[in-house]
Amino acid sequence: MKKYLWSFILILAVGLLSACGGEEKKEEAEANDSKKEKIVVGVTAGPHEQVVEKVKEVAAKDGFDIELKVFNEYVMPNVALDEGELDLNSFQHDPYLEQFKADRNLDLTNIADTVNFPMGIYSNKLKSVEDIKKGSKIGLPNDPTNGARALLLFEQAGLIKLKKDAGVKATVKDVEENKLDLELIELEASQIPRQLDELDAAAINTNFAVEHGFTPAKDSIYIEPKESPWVNVVAVRTEDKDAEFAKKFIKYYHTDEVKQFIEEEFSGSVIPSW
């Protein structure tokens, strides 16, 4: 009987030690994660990539290593972040993030503002929005938030009129007045610059416009006002919103050196928002 009792006590002790050891390892891993000096950041090709390359340069002076993972569309940067392939991402405005989270039930959080990329209307055929004629084919992004942004831009340009309360959730169904009988063609955002020859004009996100060789402030036939609310953000998994590595990234991003780079490199096409 004593033999079995001692065996039970020994098994119990080993189990308790293992549990304690596992908890200590978990706490140690969490501590190491918050202090890590290398992170992987998701960006889209173009201006976001260029800006974070500059952030990487600033961070390197402090011994903090940033690895960039570059995407050519808007879906995977959030999916990769949620799945743990990225530590954070910097490529989207807040309305897009909130809509994406709701659609896919992702636990991601906006932790800082970065820059604003004024959306523009571009054309390979026209010099001004006033040149847009009746029945013209006008392209816009097919994702909900950028599509709404484009529709609001068209309204600002005097091309259409939306229902009063459409706001940032506007869709083509909310177009209340279309005097020019414009054909609004929804396309994948990254593909619009490549299809511009087939359209009379189109709303294009700045990063894709720049990637295609446009200078937004010079080449767009109409551009959002500088006070546009569509500010881009840094996103992390919610569990990391207070992590040290996230705070460091924001610190390096929000430096005068990065701000000066943005202002000189993009000449008003990209606007610092901090």
Residues composing the chain: 274
Same domain, 93 and 160: no
Range(s) of the domain holding residue 62? 33-117+230-272
Residues 99 and 125 grouped into a single domain: no
Do residue 106 and residue 135 come from a single domain? no
Distance CA 203, CA 159 (A): 12
Cα–Cα distance for residue pair 193/75, rounded to 1 Å: 18
Decide if 52 contacts 43 (C-beta within 8 A). Answer: yes
Query: Quick one: 91 and 218 in the same domain?
Result: no
Domain check: are 42 and 110 in the same one?
yes
CA angle 114/117/118 to nearest 5° reads: 140
Closest to 200 in 3D by CA, of 120, 139, 119 = 139
Asked whether residue 93 falls in the same domain as residue 108, the answer is: yes
Full pLDDT tens readout for the chain, 274 residues: 545 555 545 554 545 445 555 555 445 544 445 467 899 999 999 999 999 999 999 999 999 999 999 999 999 999 999 999 999 999 999 989 998 999 999 999 999 999 998 899 999 999 999 999 999 999 999 998 899 999 999 999 999 999 999 988 899 999 999 999 999 999 999 999 999 999 999 999 988 998 899 988 899 999 997 667 789 999 999 999 999 999 999 999 999 999 999 999 988 889 899 9
Domain count, the chain: 2
CATH number, residue 206: 3.40.190.10
Same domain, 108 and 243: yes
